[in-house]
A = this chain, B = another copy of it.
Amino acid sequence: MRPSGRTPEQLREIRFTCNYTKHAEGSVLVEFGDTRVLCTASVDTSVPRFLKGKGEGWITAEYGMLPRSTHSRMEREAGRGKQGGRTLEIQRLIGRSLRAAIDLKALGENTITIDCDVLQADGGTRTASITGGFVALSIAIEHMLKTQRIKKNPLHGQVASVSVGIYGGVPVLDLDYAEDSQAETDMNVVMNDAGAFIEIQGTAEGHAFRKDELNAMLELAELGIRELLDKQAAALQAAKTPAAA
């Protein structure tokens, strides 16, 4: 029995509030249950030094948690003077995952920075960040097309992410904090809309997992990601359509 009463293959309630902020070219407040992440996509007409003059663009991501997004208050990274290993690891993961959805040549010499800031954490902040980050990115791309900064859409598909794990001996989908902190195994999976894997990160601090457990988790992940991809598409569609009077 899951603490939330969900069935093993059930996602939390997923919500996308597109255009949550007014300054960013793309933005969305994504919620996976009580996990709430503000994702913004900022377009900049320059590229990192290693890409200068190559006619290619870049997607990069940054991640942060507000100090009291968590159960007990964490020290502010800006105050400590450095980002922790977990933060750096997560933002590298988000960046890699989103780059997998885009043709960097078609993006031209532009950089899009995806900022994922966790307003409230309840497990799965990195998978929510990737899933919401893709939505913010898509809105920004749409904006670039409309304002003719690029001519053709560089996105070649969708990307979403979910966590799976083994909780109480049972493979479960989309772990919340109550499960995550108790899970024997935790795996984050990123997939595209062609059903292929972009990233798999599975960790077993407590209990090493067998091949059959791995397979059960991967199947759950596929299921969940398909659902997330649908919800992303619906949210993006709704954001484009002017609301009826």
Q: Which residues of A contact B (CB under 8 A)?
A: 21-24, 27, 34, 38, 40, 42, 44, 62, 64, 66-73, 76-89, 91-92, 96, 99-100, 113, 115, 117, 119-121, 187, 191-192, 194-205, 208-211, 214, 218
CA distance A229 to B62 in the complex (A): 37
A88 to chain B, nearest CB (A): 3
Contact B204 A197 (CB under 8 A): yes
CA distance A62 to B24 in the complex (A): 24
Given contacts A40-B68, A69-B21, A120-B21, contact A197 B218 (CB under 8 A): no
Contact B91 A85 (CB under 8 A): yes
Contact A89 B100 (CB under 8 A): no
Contact A38 B64 (CB under 8 A): no
A126 to chain B, nearest CB (A): 13
The interface residues of chain B lying within 8 Å CB-to-CB of A203 are 96, 198-199
Contact B68 A23 (CB under 8 A): yes
The interface residues of chain B lying within 8 Å CB-to-CB of A214 are 197, 200, 218
The interface residues of chain B lying within 8 Å CB-to-CB of A200 are 187, 200-202, 214
The interface residues of chain B lying within 8 Å CB-to-CB of A198 are 203-204, 208
Contact B88 A64 (CB under 8 A): no
A119 to chain B, nearest CB (A): 7
A219 to chain B, nearest CB (A): 9
Given contacts A76-B62, A83-B78, A203-B96, contact A120 B42 (CB under 8 A): no
Contact B208 A70 (CB under 8 A): no
Contact A23 B70 (CB under 8 A): yes
Contact A99 B205 (CB under 8 A): yes
Contact B218 A196 (CB under 8 A): no
Contact A23 B201 (CB under 8 A): no
The interface residues of chain B lying within 8 Å CB-to-CB of A77 are 78
A20 to chain B, nearest CB (A): 8
CA distance A204 to B196 in the complex (A): 10
A86 to chain B, nearest CB (A): 8
The interface residues of chain B lying within 8 Å CB-to-CB of A92 are 85-86, 89
Contact A100 B208 (CB under 8 A): yes
